[in-house]
Every structure is written in structure tokens, then in C-alpha cells.
Amino acid sequence: MDTQIVIFTDLDGTLLDNKTFKFDQISQYVKYLISIGVIIIPNSSKTEDEILDFIDELGINLSFISENGSAIHNLNLINKNLPKKIILSRNKDEIFKIFKEKISLKYQSKLQLISNFSLNEKLEIFGLPRSKLDLSMNRNYTIPLKFLGSIEDKKNIINNLMKIGLRIQEGGRIMNLGDNITKGTAMTKTLHLIKSNLNKDLKTIGVGDNFNDLEMIKKSDFPCLVKNDNFDHKKVNINNLIISNKPSPMGWADVIKIAMEKIN
């Protein structure tokens, strides 16, 4: 049976530079991987519009997963029998309604809606140019928040949200309130669908740089972390973990090359 390599990758701080959001240094390598038949699936907290913007810059259409596992897109590119879109999450209005009704005002006050911030504050928080900000704020399933409480507050909020079927996802810059799904949830669903339509042995590489990537990485045959100075990789207990010595985007290429060598 042929082997099909599938890469599930975070974008910001993993494949994209954490400050400039560029990937020029490795764009040719990404295109090379695709040209030899590797399936690359961005699995990001980014919105559908943001990932489509990345795909447009790459110049090659891809399947992808948006908003921390909320929706799976373009699997029909892998096999025509697969659906174009699968929604795994409730919409953000329903999620926010549950949050307002079930979470105490004490804890609600610790989470500020970024949508209520000024334009300049949003630009500073996201670190994005003005032209990209609207793409980031156009969310269907998740709600960006700024956390103001203590570590103990955060633990209590996370526990209380889990009890009502919601979840906080921590990324590099913000927290996102969403349904009780993760990048790993969407990855599992995606792999199940691919396996049912491709008569191939799948080998998966998972690449990330932060907390909200860990479940995706753990589910991978070849788990990879890209160096992130704001995230202590030494605390991550994953067997056979490949860790880069460089930050994104070069760190992405480094860990992928190691994983590809292991597969081959």
C-alpha cells in the first residue's frame, strides 16, 4: 500500500513569522512538498478569510481547518467524493449567549471582548497591519478575548466553561472562546474522511508552537514544535517530539525535513 504524508500545521508563529506573518524564506520548500504529493492542511485559529488570504499568497489551493477546529474546508480537493465544507461548531452568537447566561459576572469581568476595543488597540493586540485586521475579526465560531485575571481565575474559568460545553483556546496573542472542540478534534475527523476515500497508508506530521496546538501535535505520528520564546517547550511531554532550534518560518522547514527523513 502506498504511503500518503499529511501535514497538519498551525500558521502564526509556526509556518508564518510571528512578527511579520511572512513565509517568503520557505515558500519554495512548501511548494516543493506539495509538488511531490504531500498534503498540507493548515489547522489554525485564523478565520476562513485569513487562511484564504494565506492560500492566495502561496498560490496553491489547499484544504484547511479554521477557527481552532470549528470548520473543515476544501476536502474535495483531496478527493472529489469528500465535502467542500464541514462545520463542527455552533455559531458564535449561540456560544456567546450560553457564556452570558451560565458564567458568573465575576468571571465575565475577567474576559474583555476584543471587538469592543478601539481600532488602535486591536491593531496592537493582533500585531496585524490595518489591511489584515478585518479578516481576523470576521469570525463565525469563536470570540477573541483579552484576559485580565489571575492564574487561579483562569483555571476556574476554564473549568466552568468545560462544564457548560464551551472552551477557551490560548494562542500566542489572544484567547478565543469557542465550542468544546479543538484542532485535534477537526484533525481526527479529517483523517477519518481521508482514510475512507484514499486506499493509502497515512503518515501524519503535526506542527505547532503553542498551547492550542498540543492536541493536534499529540495525535500526529511525527509531532513537531517550532521554537517560541514565549512558550516553554520543556514542559511538553510528548514522545518522539521534534523541536526546532530556530523560530518560524525556518524552524518549520527544519522540523518538517527531520520528520520527512524519518518517514522515508
Distance, in Å, from the CA atom of 103 to the CA atom of 168, rounded to the nearest integer, reads 13
User: Is residue 163 located within the same domain as residue 220?
Assistant: no
The answer on pLDDT for 77 being more than 70 is yes
User: Is residue 172 located within the same domain as residue 186?
Assistant: no
Which is nearest to 54 in space by CA: 125, 120, 122, 128? 128
How would you classify the pairing of strands 3-9 and 39-42? parallel
168 to 155, 189, 194: CA distances (angstroms): 10, 21, 28
8 Å CB contact between 249 and 15: yes
User: Is residue 200 located within the same domain as residue 252?
Assistant: yes
Give backbone dihedrals phi and psi of 179, rounded to 5 degrees, phi first: -70, 170
Q: Where are the alpha helices (DSSP H) in the chain?
A: 27-35, 48-58, 92-102, 105-108, 119-126, 130-137, 151-163, 183-197, 214-218, 250-263
pLDDT digits (tens, 9 = 90+) for 141-191: 999 999 998 999 999 999 999 999 999 998 656 899 999 999 999 999 999
Number of structural domains in the chain:
2
CATH number at residue 149: 3.30.980.20
User: Is residue 110 located within the same domain as residue 137?
Assistant: yes
Give backbone dihedrals phi and psi of 77, rounded to 5 degrees, phi first: -70, -25
User: Is residue 83 located within the same domain as residue 186?
Assistant: yes
Where a domain ends, among 137, 160, 179? 179
The answer on pLDDT for 231 being more than 90 is no
Distance, in Å, from the CA atom of 9 to the CA atom of 27, rounded to the nearest integer, reads 14
Which is nearest to 115 in space by CA: 60, 172, 174? 174
User: Is residue 250 located within the same domain as residue 219?
Assistant: yes
Residue 138 sits in which domain range?
92-179
Mean pLDDT of the chain: 95
CA 209 to chain centre: 10
pLDDT digits (tens, 9 = 90+) for 2-24: 899 999 999 999 999 999 999 99
